[in-house]
């Protein structure tokens, strides 16, 4: 009996000494510091792709295909709603039209060209604004907007048409109005920092968002300041900057720190605000929380997507959340009819029901088309009720809108700088080498 008691005592003593907490207590091991935060299985990703979890069986309804005669601003609309374009193009060949300066390591093209009265205007990678006639196939005028002693950081900027003027957001911290016919300066103002985003025009108001998260709202006729709004500066941001969306009397402003606001168009008063990241996460991480995709407004629904892995639909008037999906994109979704089409994680195209966010179909993009995700895919456009997608490793893809099947794949002469624009049934595409081509 005494032996049994001794053995039991010895067993308990060994167990006591070898246990983790006791070894730390006795000084055999350093005390472990429990890390804050949620425990996640190493076999499970932090952000789960849930595209198959919520499905929608509703019918895809697209708007009738139409032809438009001008393209005055990016997405041809202040609300960024997509048009179903009608076109006779077979999407088989690329015809060279004109060239500007191509991209380098220190210069990037981030905006679409614009078209007005058969003139195409574009901003190249050296901050040259070029006017080209689509009728005579000649350059009408060319003007450089870089500053004399600062000509080495031509990243972004953008242009918009207003009446008989061309208004430019300059990467050198200026907003400039030029005459359409000759390129003479109408007015020019300096702002606090660089502008990489494209301006938005609504009625006589010009809205420009700087890289420091400040929104300037100007009178487009004379450049007079109407009001401004300051967001929180974010020092971990991607290169792209979003374009502000406007519908009725509401401005949707996306800031690079993950916040987005609804402001009164007339006076800049805050209507509501929302964010992709709660306060606790904001204070403990420097992760990219950028909103680089343009917000989209369709009636009372606002669509916002972020690089952090969330796609939101909120009520335009109240900011209340309608639905959320775990979808990550830096590219603006295509919204038409009752559907939303988006590039997710640069690896698949997803069709969602805009009313509840339910998935209709998912198309995985072949890795070889983008050299195994080395190159990005740009926002899709709608042409003859088909999805047209450019990007990847110099590829053009035509996709069946109703079932997600690939109908056509073509090689592009160079990497695209922006999605195609379609005017009078003709698709035009700007390339990163500075060329503009017509897709025939």
Confidence check: pLDDT of 11 > 80: no
Characterize the bridge pairing of strands 381-383 and 84-85.
parallel
Q: How far apart are CA 217 and CA 189, in angstroms?
A: 12
Q: What is the pLDDT of residues 267-315, one digit of tens each?
A: 999 999 998 764 334 443 444 456 789 999 999 999 999 877 889 999 9
What pLDDT score was predicted for residue 166?
98
* DSSP per-residue codes, 75-88: GGSSS-PPPEE---
- Spatial distance between the Cα atoms of 35 and 55, rounded to a whole number of angstroms: 37
pLDDT for 373 equals: 80
Give the pLDDT band (50/70/90) at residue 232.
Answer: confident
Indicate whether 148 pLDDT > 60.
Answer: yes
Of 97-111, 145-159, 365-379, minimum mean pLDDT range: 145-159
Highest mean pLDDT: which range of 193-202, 288-297, 350-359: 350-359
Q: Region of 75 please: left (phi>0), alpha (psi -120 to 50) or beta.
A: left
Residue 141 has pLDDT above 90, yes or no: yes
Q: What is the pLDDT of residue 292?
A: 82
User: For residue 169, what pLDDT is reported?
Assistant: 95
* Residue 199 or residue 147, greater confidence: 199
Domain definitions of the chain by residue range: 1-28, 53-439
Q: Cβ neighbours of residue 376 under 8 Å, at least 6 residues apart?
A: 330, 331, 346, 370, 391, 392
> Which residues lie closer than 8 Å to 290 by C-beta, 6 or more apart?
234, 237, 238, 240, 256, 258, 306, 307, 308, 330
Decide: helix, strand or coil at residue 97: strand
For the chain, how many residues are written?
440
- What are the pLDDT digits (tens) for 396-429? 999 999 999 999 999 999 999 999 999 999 999 9
What's the confidence (pLDDT) of residue 21? 43
pLDDT for 205 beyond 80: yes
Q: In this model, does residue 179 exceed pLDDT 80? A: yes
Q: Helix, strand, or coil here: 327? A: coil
Average pLDDT, the chain: 85
Residues 17-73 pLDDT 10s: 444 444 443 343 444 333 333 333 222 333 334 544 688 889 999 999 999 999 999
Share of the chain above pLDDT 70, in %: 82
Domain 53-439 class?
mainly beta
Give me the pLDDT at residue 73, please.
96
pLDDT of residue 30: 40
Strands of the sheet with 348-353, listed across from one edge: 334-336, 339-344, 348-353, 359-364
In sequence order, which residues have a C-beta less than 8 Å from that of residue 152 and are 6 or more positions away? 106
For 219-229, what is each residue's pLDDT tens digit?
999 999 999 99
Is pLDDT at 139 greater than 80 in this prediction? yes
pLDDT attached to residue 240: 60
% of the chain exceeding 90 in pLDDT: 68
Q: Could you tell me which residue, 327 or 277, shows the higher pLDDT?
A: 327
Q: Which helix (H) or strand (E) holds 120?
A: strand 119-123
Q: What is the pLDDT of residues 235-255, one digit of tens each?
A: 544 456 789 999 999 999 998
Those residues with Cβ within 8 angstroms of residue 98's Cβ, 6 or more apart along the chain or in another chain = 120, 130, 132, 137, 139, 435, 436
383 CB-contact burial (10 Å; exposed 0-12 / middle 13-18 / buried 19+): buried
Residue 326: per-residue pLDDT: 93
Res 53: pLDDT: 66
Is residue 152 very low, low, confident or very high in pLDDT (cuts 50, 70, 90)? low
């Amino acid at each position: 009996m005494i032996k049994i008691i001794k053995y039991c005592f010895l067993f308990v003593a060994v167990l006591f000494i070898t246990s983790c907490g006791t070894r730390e207590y006795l000084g055999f091991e350093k005390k472990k510091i429990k890390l804050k935060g949620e425990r996640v299985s190493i076999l499970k990703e932090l952000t789960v792709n849930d595209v198959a979890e919520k499905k929608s069986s509703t019918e895809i309804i697209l708007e009738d295909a139409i032809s438009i005669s001008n393209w005055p601003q990016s997405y041809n609309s202040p609300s960024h709603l997509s048009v179903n374009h009608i076109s006779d193009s077979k999407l088989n060949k690329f015809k060279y039209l004109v060239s500007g300066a191509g991209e380098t390591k220190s210069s990037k093209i981030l905006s679409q060209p614009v078209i007005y009265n058969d003139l195409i205007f574009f901003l190249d990678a050296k901050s040259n604004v070029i006017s080209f006639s689509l009728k005579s196939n000649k350059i009408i005028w060319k003007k450089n907007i870089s500053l004399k002693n600062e000509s080495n950081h031509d990243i972004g900027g953008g242009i918009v048409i207003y009446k008989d003027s061309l208004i430019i957001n300059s990467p050198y911290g200026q907003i400039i109005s030029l005459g359409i016919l000759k390129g003479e300066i109408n007015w020019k103002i300096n702002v606090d920092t660089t502008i990489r985003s494209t301006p938005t025009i609504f009625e006589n108001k010009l809205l420009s968002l700087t890289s420091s998260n400040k929104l300037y709202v100007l009178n487009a006729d004379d450049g007079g300041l109407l009001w401004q709004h300051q967001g929180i500066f974010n020092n971990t941001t991607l290169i792209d900057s979003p374009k502000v969306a406007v519908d009725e009397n509401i401005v949707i402003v996306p800031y690079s720190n993950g916040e987005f606001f609804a402001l009164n168009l007339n006076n800049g008063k805050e209507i509501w605000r929302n964010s992709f990241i709660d306060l606790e996460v904001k204070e403990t991480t420097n992760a990219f929380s950028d909103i680089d995709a343009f917000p989209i407004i369709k009636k009372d629904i606002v669509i916002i997507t972020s690089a952090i892995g969330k796609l939101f639909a909120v009520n335009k008037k109240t900011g209340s959340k309608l639905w959320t999906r775990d979808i990550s994109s830096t590219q603006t979704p295509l919204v038409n009819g009752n559907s939303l089409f988006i590039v997710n994680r640069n690896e698949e195209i997803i069709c969602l029901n805009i009313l509840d966010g339910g998935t209709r179909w998912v198309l995985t993009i072949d890795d070889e088309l983008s050299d195994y995700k080395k190159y990005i895919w740009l926002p899709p456009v709608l042409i003859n009720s088909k999805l047209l997608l450019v990007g990847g490793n110099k590829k053009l893809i035509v996709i069946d809108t109703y079932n997600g099947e690939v109908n056509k794949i073509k090689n592009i002469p160079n990497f695209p700088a922006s999605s195609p624009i379609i005017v009078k049934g003709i698709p035009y595409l700007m390339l990163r080498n500075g060329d503009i081509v017509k897709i025939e």
